[in-house]
Amino acid sequence: MKKKIILIAIAIILLIAGFFAWKLFGPAVSVKNESYLYIKTGSSYEDVQAQLVNNDFIGSATWLNMATKIVGYKKIKPGRYKLTNGMNLTNLVRLLKNGQQTPVTFVVTKIRTKEGLADKIGSAFECDSLQMISFLNNRDSLIAYDLDSNTVMAAIMPLTYDIKWNTTPGKLFQYFYTAYKAFWTTERKEKAEKLGLTPIGVSTLASIIDEETNSPIDRPKVASVYLNRIDKGMPLQADPTLKFALRNFGLKRILNEHKNVVSPYNTYNNKGLPPGPICTPQMETIDAVLDSPKTDYLYFVANSDFSGTHVFTTNYEDHMKYARLYQQELNKRNIK
């Protein structure tokens, strides 16, 4: 009889132990597809607990609290933590304790303005767009990088960056600047110098070319036109710079009224390059500028067949002939 009681007691203990083990090491997290827990800077343990329960990631806080005590989770580390369906509480708490957050994959493509960059960052990271635009407009922030609020977008290379969610605006920019410095090798700097340009100047010219054409074949020739104009002291007369000055990127036709806009980005009224890039330039376009061919071209206009290519000419008379053909085609297509 005594032996039977002992066996029953052992069985009960094993059942209780198994129950505890199941609660702590069995599937506990319930998520669909990819789900993340975002812990903001300054959050308390109660904040983390509430998020997990209120978002139905876990059933209740009781067993979470026990796992927290066992693992010794005391210091709350902000970040973006990927949750997987069926994750147990012990592994969840260890993930948070060790600060093993999943970085944000931040992809930069063409971005035209600082405000556009700030909005994109504000949607992806803990810092908001106002904090980011404040950094991008802050002379004291940028002077350490030898940049200003006009040239800062030259440092934003169109790449894919893996960055922690709770990274501050200053540290975010450091990621961009590191990639920018790595791109500008000694060889590229020497090529820029031979053209009489700084890396910022090359990036600015490349940004205009990116807005002029999507044709890889035309980019080097467009670069040669603008470089020839700079050498001759002619205004660039680049339509995309007027769109940037007007902040109207959907303009299909540039009219005389647009050419009167008062702005340092009006390359019809101002000679030389504008103060900074008008979009984040592609690396291929920067290289197209650096490796641009020697030509006598001074003009180009979009091809009237709407192929996306351009017609390049050395004199104004020929240029106007092709420009009229393009304007006629715009009229036929009722493009305003």
What is the pLDDT, as a whole number, of residue 289?
98
- For residue 309, pLDDT beyond 80: yes
Average pLDDT over residues 97-107: 96
Average pLDDT over residues 304-325: 90
pTM assigned to the model: 0.88
Average pLDDT over residues 251-261: 88
What is the pLDDT, as a whole number, of residue 60?
83
Other CB atoms within 10 A of residue 304 CB: 17
Q: Which domains does the chain have, with CATH numbers?
A: 22-97 (3.30.1490.480), 104-183 (no CATH), 186-332 (no CATH)
Least confident of 14-18, 22-26, 198-202, 233-237: 14-18
- For residue 22, pLDDT beyond 50: no
CA angle 262, 263, 266 (to 5 degrees): 100
What is the pLDDT, as a whole number, of residue 305?
84
What is the pLDDT, as a whole number, of residue 149?
96
Place of tokens 């009681």: 5
pLDDT band per the 50, 70, 90 thresholds, residue 253? confident
* CA–CA gap between residue 128 and residue 115 (Å, rounded): 12
Average pLDDT over residues 191-198: 97
DSSP character at residue 49? H
User: What is the DSSP code string of 273-290?
Assistant: --SS-SS---HHHHHHHH
Token readout for 221 is 């020739």
List, for residues 43-58, the tens digit of each pLDDT value.
999 999 999 999 999 8
* CA–CA gap between residue 183 and residue 158 (Å, rounded): 11
Indicate the average pLDDT of the chain: 90
* CA–CA gap between residue 154 and residue 147 (Å, rounded): 9
Residue scoring higher pLDDT (64 or 199): 199
* 217 neighbors 309 (Cβ within 8 angstroms): yes
